[in-house]
Structure 1
Amino acid sequence: MNPMRRIVFMGSPDFAVPALQDLHSSQYEVVGVVTAPDKPSGRGQKIQSTAVKLEAERLGIPLLQPRNLKDFNFQEELRNLRADIQVVIAFRMLPESVWNMPPYGSINLHASLLPDLRGAAPIHWAIINGYKKTGLTTFQLQHAIDTGPILRQETVEIEENMTTGELYNAMRHMAGKMVLDSLTMIGNGAKQIPQKLTGRELPAPKIQKEDARIQWNQPNAVIHNHIRGMHPFPCAWTTLNDKRVKIHCARLTNTGHTNLSPGEAIISIENLLFVGCSSGCVEITELQLEGKKRMTAAAFIQGQGAKIFQFV
């Protein structure tokens, strides 16, 4: 018999919602949810709740929204929930006084095959780095971030033109089963595996806006991966006539436009938009001019006077 029954769930974005739903409909009792406080968002700065909060309210689960995880009153409320274990997905770094509170500690689900791609943006960086596969890892939380002993790992194949958004959606729907299987393993006393570094691991730091800028002096495969990896957020960008242009979608091409210099764009006789890279070129299929709506390359071409121009 599994000795764990009472679970506190911690998470904020929609990535964590399917796992919360699966836990709620399982044999476990989700006795509380911890999520980020409401905050202003968007152009209108309207107060918005996290996706996890909205789902917890729909399910009728008690909710905590601490601003400070070390706050005494919050920790008392958390302790009073009497959780056997805490499940953490896409949340903040926890102090030891929180992650070590329940008898069985806390487990985290991370969107990579640890120890590779430790950090805040593993899905983005898997695609940016041109990975053919990545995965999900559940592990026991400890002091250093993303370093605890591993419970389970599941591999996910990355298709050639897959974007971060598509991979994100595929992985979020795998999370619930991963967590439930991991809880069963803990209840059965399964051995956890320490993470072993090989020296080939890459980091996955938080994506900054400047990271999304396209550096055209790279091979076309690298630029294609960059555009896929930055979509839909924050979206790869470049400039045209000193104005920002978001590049939503592109594809690798074997066209004969191999003499284009990096960033040089040409509208072909077939009315296709090609941009040169350090080797080869990419075909831009969807883009967005500053202050305008997203559009197809065909719509952009209709309003573009010059047939040859330069992205910077």
Structure 2
Amino acid sequence: MEKEELRLVFMGTPEFAVATLRRLVEGGYNVVAVVTQPDKPVGRHQEQLQPSAVKQFALAHGLPVLQPVKMKDPAFVEELRGYKADLQVVVAYRMLPEVVWNMPRFGTFNVHAALLPQYRGAAPINWAVINGETETGVTTFFLDKDIDTGRVIMQRRFPIPDEADVAYVYDGLMTLGADVAIETIDEILECGGKIDGIEQADLALSAANELKPAPKIFKETCLIDWNLPAKRVYDFIRGLSPYPGSWTNMEENGKQSVLKIFKTAKTSEDMQAEVGTVRSEKNRLYVRCGDAWLEILELQMAGKKRMCARDFLNGMRDKSFRILTK
């Protein structure tokens, strides 16, 4: 079978998924339909509906778009079945019921931004950086009844530089994910759809460390614990930058507010001080962590724009402020 004959249904929502869909369309693959999340209300009064990045791309290229509220809805399932897909490709979408992922004759595979079985879950890129990993990668695997546990088809590795934040890793994995998705489809075509894959249990047996999860990140997840070693705080902050952003509580002239931290630098300063102590020196800002000082490079006060430490300190001149560790 040639790629023009293979009937593909693509499922995804954010910008991360668009890279793969674009490669499919520009590569001449036969995408017969696109499934994405319903439009979301936006604006001050939620009066406008914003289509997903995937929907915008699909409509711009004349692809049919399906937006089910419930994946088990009989009308949606019947409509999806009508496209007679040979294979379904999922990138950054929701969990699928068996009636959907088991529909195509060649199955459904997902592009996951981690080296499974490590970092199963909704936020694998963030958690890999937060945990100080030096590499991550992309895995394609067949969907089954549980989340991110299916048979692995292909994996590709991606290095994480020590200074990299989530934006850097996100962009790198977005491109790598598109590459691996294409390679996976081509291999399925070459094998006539008969690929067994590797059980993740077999991969887990060879893993050097215990399995690390990647649960969804909430606001409370992003609160900085300054009691941790400086390296862990440094990784935590870059693992949430630029979005959703780590935060701490600041007290200014007796009034508390939220201060977001986006970029820091490790230091060799060994002067002893209590955790959370703030020190400014020559327009540079430092906070004491559990074992060392961390320099704050970029931050954002509530209601203000993101700024460098120098601008922050200039604005705080003649004001009393401190970082709250709890």
Q: Sequence identity, in percent?
A: 43
Give the Cα–Cα distance (whole angstroms) in 2 for the partners of residues 264 and 235 of structure 1: 21
* Aligned equivalent of 2:276: 263
Kindly provide the amino acid, as one letter, of the partner of residue 86 in structure 1.
Q
* Aligned equivalent of 1:168: 170
Comparing 37-46 and 84-93, the one that deviates more: 37-46
Deviation of 1:309 after TM superposition, in Å, equals: 4.6
Kindly provide the amino acid, as one letter, of the partner of residue 292 in structure 2.
G
Give the Cα–Cα distance (whole angstroms) in 2 for the partners of residues 73 and 294 of structure 1: 46
* Aligned equivalent of 2:291: 279
Kindly provide the amino acid, as one letter, of the partner of residue 166 in structure 1.
Y
* Aligned equivalent of 2:302: 290
1:254 aligns with 2:254: no
Deviation of 1:26 after TM superposition, in Å, equals: 2.2
**Which residue of 58, 61, 64 maps to 2:63?**
61
2:132, 2:235 within 8 Å by CA — same for their partners in 1?
A: yes
Q: Find the residue that maps to 2:139 and give its secondary structure.
A: strand
Kindly provide the amino acid, as one letter, of the partner of residue 72 in structure 1.
P
Deviation of 1:166 after TM superposition, in Å, equals: 1.2
Kindly provide the amino acid, as one letter, of the partner of residue 113 in structure 1.
L
Q: Find the residue that maps to 2:227 and give its secondary structure.
A: coil
* Aligned equivalent of 1:103: 105
1:115, 1:195 within 8 Å by CA — same for their partners in 2?
A: yes
Q: Deviations over 1:127-168 (max 9, x none)?
A: 000000000000001111100010100000000111111110
RMSD over aligned Cα, in angstroms?
1.6
Q: Deviations over 1:68-100 (max 9, x none)?
A: 110111111101111100000000000000000
Q: Deviations over 1:253-289 (max 9, x none)?
A: 1134x31321111101x22100000001110011111
Kindly provide the amino acid, as one letter, of the partner of residue 289 in structure 1.
M
1:108, 1:138 within 8 Å by CA — same for their partners in 2?
A: yes
TM-score, length basis structure 1? 0.95
Give the Cα–Cα distance (whole angstroms) in 1 for the partners of residues 245 and 28 of structure 2: 40
* Aligned equivalent of 1:34: 35
Kindly provide the amino acid, as one letter, of the partner of residue 99 in structure 1.
W
1:266, 1:307 within 8 Å by CA — same for their partners in 2?
A: no
* Aligned equivalent of 1:194: 199
Give the Cα–Cα distance (whole angstroms) in 2 for the partners of residues 165 and 125 of structure 1: 13
Q: Any stretches of 5+ residues in structure 1 without a counterpart?
A: none
Deviation of 1:125 after TM superposition, in Å, equals: 0.1
* Aligned equivalent of 2:216: 206
TM-score, length basis structure 2? 0.91
1:16, 1:52 within 8 Å by CA — same for their partners in 2?
A: yes
Give the Cα–Cα distance (whole angstroms) in 2 for the partners of residues 73 and 132 of structure 1: 46
